[in-house]
């Protein structure tokens, strides 16, 4: 996938059985998506777009998603050898540096 390539992410909505609150899952699939670092806003000021990290196949890149339509666009093609990706079970891949 190249920078600027887009696709529609699979959206899923359900009700949490414990709280009764509606949950909206914007992405799914064979990757791990998560928000930008804690002190960096992931959502645009108009609340229409979220920028996020995607870890897929030992690579970390930035994507954006339109909250209403699910249109998802790849923003980067970083080649940094160690992305400093340090979540739970995945090894640090190449790409965008986490944080």
pLDDT in tens, 2-52: 999 999 999 999 999 999 999 999 998 888 898 887 788 999 999 999 999
Would you state the pLDDT for residue 37?
78
pLDDT at 57: 86
Q: Residue 84 has what pLDDT?
A: 75
Quote helix, strand, coil % in the chain, to nearest 5.
Answer: 0, 40, 60
- The structure's pTM equals 0.85
Q: Which two tokens stand for residue 70?
A: 């699910």
């Amino acid at each position: 996938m190249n920078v600027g390539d887009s696709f529609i992410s699979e959206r899923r909505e359900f009700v949490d059985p414990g709280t009764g609150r509606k949950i909206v899952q914007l992405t799914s699939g064979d990757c791990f998506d998560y928000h930008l670092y804690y002190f960096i806003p992931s959502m645009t000021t108009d609340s229409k777009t979220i920028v996020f990290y995607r870890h897929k196949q030992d690579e970390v890149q930035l994507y954006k998603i339109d909250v209403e339509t699910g249109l998802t666009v790849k923003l980067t093609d970083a080649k940094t050898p160690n992305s400093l990706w340090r979540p739970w079970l995945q090894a640090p891949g190449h790409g965008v540096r986490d944080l």
